[in-house]
Amino acid sequence: MVNRLRLGTDERRAQLLGLGLRLFNERAYDAISIDDIAAAAGISKGLLYHYFSSKHVFYVETVKVAAEELIARTRAPDELPPEQKLTRALDGYLDYVEQNSRAFLTLMRSGVGVDAEVSEVMERTRRALIKRIVEQGLGLGAPRPILRVALRAWIGFVEGASLDWLEHRDVPRVELRALLASALANALQTAGVP
Amino acid sequence: MVNRLRLGTDERRAQLLGLGLRLFNERAYDAISIDDIAAAAGISKGLLYHYFSSKHVFYVETVKVAAEELIARTRAPDELPPEQKLTRALDGYLDYVEQNSRAFLTLMRSGVGVDAEVSEVMERTRRALIKRIVEQGLGLGAPRPILRVALRAWIGFVEGASLDWLEHRDVPRVELRALLASALANALQTAGVP
């Protein structure tokens, strides 16, 4: 309750979203009520509604935060050589989905709470990752159509692989990373990138 | 109304599902009411409810029919050489998603109506396609983990590519098919399949 008095609006919002990320990763969307969230945050339901008008709105906002975090975690220092950059980016991705595996699996399986709005956040995130590969990885402006398709396809490859990897947990990370890197190299080559 | 008297239960059900596939491909899920479906079928709302207890149940059943159709369309004659088999299967897939592009895009983007149940149908379909590649394409029993991951990843690749292809329609089908085939060959090779 001391916190309640001290936190500013932005801080409170950020604190709630951080809490939401943890809750949605620990339990199913349906198993979490607005009361649970308010109780976990140590605030009243009324105050929670002041920040987020519904559980679904709250969920969408946590997905946006998660997407930003994923984009940040897959950013590799510019000065690294291309191959190391890719390794670093893939590790960042795999670390993140591993640490948030339940939330990631729910999201990918269109678990309850996933709708067109959440899906749009996901697609926007994929576009941001593709843009980074094109501009920073390949040093191109806009990709030609076949390259754009190839990169969107590769993102699907990474997601499909991650889903299966997290579900079964019987493939060493280093083998998975090699599979993802090889698929990217092959997709680029097929799309005519030298 | 003549039809109404003549059709048996199974025929009526099949007719309704065929109609559903068409309707969900023409219009958004939210833009279709139970009344629209009944009217299009020339039956009463009561009779429609006799077959499907809600619009969502009806939608899930149409997705199941679509999944079976997709599995059938991607089946290539056993006597074809492997490469031609793959070409045939990929063409079957691309034909199907092209003919049902609106429904496919909605499904993949978790449009309204897509939930954990629909998602489970989609995942089951992916598993059936992977099983066929493993057993009939590669002549193996169960895949080793890395091969299973690689094939699940490749299905994600095909879906990602199809989504982008249908959204932009600026890549010739033959180039797309070559991209998909190359990605499969590379994934198999990386997974240690000779």
Cross-chain residue pair B178–A190, CB shorter than 8 Å: yes
Mean pLDDT, to the nearest integer, of A65-70? 96
B161 residue type, one letter: A
The continuous run of DSSP H or E covering B48 comes out as helix B45-51
Mean pLDDT, to the nearest integer, of B9-13? 89
Inform me whether the C-beta atom of residue A118 falls under 8 Å from chain B C-beta atoms. yes
% of chain B surpassing 70 pLDDT: 95
User: pLDDT digits over B42-51, tens only?
Assistant: 999 999 999 9
Residue of A nearest to B168 (CA): A145
Rounded to two decimals, the pTM is 0.93
Q: Which pLDDT score, from 0 to 100, does residue B1 have?
A: 46
Cross-chain residue pair B183–A178, CB shorter than 8 Å: no
Q: Which pLDDT score, from 0 to 100, does residue A30 have?
A: 84
Instruction: Report whether pLDDT(B180) > 60.
Output: yes
Q: Which pLDDT score, from 0 to 100, does residue B29 have?
A: 85
- How many beta-carbon pairs below 8 A join chains A and B? 142
Find where tokens 């990631």 sit: A104
Cross-chain residue pair A157–B159, CB shorter than 8 Å: no
Q: How far is CA A171 from CA A130, A166, B34, B146, B191, in A?
A: 26, 9, 47, 6, 11
Cα B36 from Cα A86, distance rounded (Å): 51
Burial class (CB in 10 A: 0-12, 13-18, 19+), B82: exposed
Instruction: Report whether pLDDT(B66) > 90.
Output: yes
pLDDT band at A154 (very low <50, low <70, confident <90, very high): very high
Highest mean pLDDT among A103-112, B7-16, B67-76: B67-76
Mean pLDDT, to the nearest integer, of A141-151? 95
Instruction: Report whether pLDDT(B6) > 70.
Output: no
Mean pLDDT, to the nearest integer, of A147-172? 97
The size of chain A, in residues, is: 194
Cα B96 from Cα A130, distance rounded (Å): 27
Least confident of A55-69, A114-128, A150-164: A114-128
Q: Which pLDDT score, from 0 to 100, does residue A106 have?
A: 86
Cross-chain residue pair A161–B149, CB shorter than 8 Å: yes
A158: distance to nearest CA of chain B, Å? 6
| Neighboring chain B residues of A187 at a CB cutoff of 8 Å | 157, 179, 182-183
Closest by Cα among B136, B159, B151 to B186: B151
Kindly indicate whether the domain formed by A58-190 is annotated with CATH number 1.10.150.20. Answer: no
**Domain B59-190 class?**
mainly alpha
B187: distance to nearest CA of chain A, Å? 7
Interface test with B, best of A106, A121, A146, A193 (most B CBs within 10 A): A146
Instruction: Write down the mean pLDDT value for chain B.
Output: 92
Q: Which pLDDT score, from 0 to 100, does residue A6 have?
A: 65
B99: distance to nearest CA of chain A, Å? 19
Which numeric CATH code is attached to B2-57?
1.10.10.60
Q: Is the dihedral of CA A170, A189, A154, A18 positive or negative?
A: positive
**Residue-range domain boundaries for chain B:** 2-57, 59-190
3-state per-residue secondary structure call for chain A: CHHHHHCCHHHHHHHHHHHHHHHHHHCCHHHCCHHHHHHHHCCCHHHHHHHCCCHHHHHHHHHHHHHHHHHHHCCCCCCCCHHHHHHHHHHHHHHHHHHCHHHHHHHHCCCCCCCHHHHHHHHHHHHHHHHHHHHHHCCCCCCCHHHHHHHHHHHHHHHHHHHHHHHHCCCCHHHHHHHHHHHHHHHHHHCCCC
Phi-psi region of A29 (alpha: psi -120 to 50; beta: other; left: phi over 0): alpha
pLDDT band at A1 (very low <50, low <70, confident <90, very high): very low
User: pLDDT digits over B123-141, tens only?
Assistant: 999 999 999 999 988 999 8
pLDDT band at A61 (very low <50, low <70, confident <90, very high): very high
Angle at which helix B145-168 crosses helix B101-108, to 10 degrees, equals 120
Q: Which pLDDT score, from 0 to 100, does residue B194 have?
A: 78
Mean pLDDT, to the nearest integer, of A87-98? 96
Mean pLDDT, to the nearest integer, of A126-134? 95
Q: Which pLDDT score, from 0 to 100, does residue A115 have?
A: 80
A149 residue type, one letter: V
B107 close to B125: Cβ distance less than 8 angstroms: no
Domain range A2-55, CATH architecture: Orthogonal Bundle (1.10)
Instruction: Report whether pLDDT(B106) > 90.
Output: no
Cα A43 from Cα A92, distance rounded (Å): 34
Structure tokens of A3? 């916190």
pLDDT band at A69 (very low <50, low <70, confident <90, very high): very high
Closest by Cα among B118, B5, B101, B11 to B59: B118
Q: Which pLDDT score, from 0 to 100, does residue A7 have?
A: 75
pLDDT band at A107 (very low <50, low <70, confident <90, very high): confident
| Neighboring chain A residues of B146 at a CB cutoff of 8 Å | 171, 175-176, 179
ipTM (interface predicted TM): 0.93
Interface test with A, best of B110, B159, B175 (most A CBs within 10 A): B110
Inform me whether the C-beta atom of residue A111 falls under 8 Å from chain B C-beta atoms. yes
Cross-chain residue pair A146–B182, CB shorter than 8 Å: no
Q: Which residue among B148, B150, B159 places its CB closest to the CB of A156?
A: B159
Q: Which pLDDT score, from 0 to 100, does residue A9 have?
A: 86
A2 residue type, one letter: V
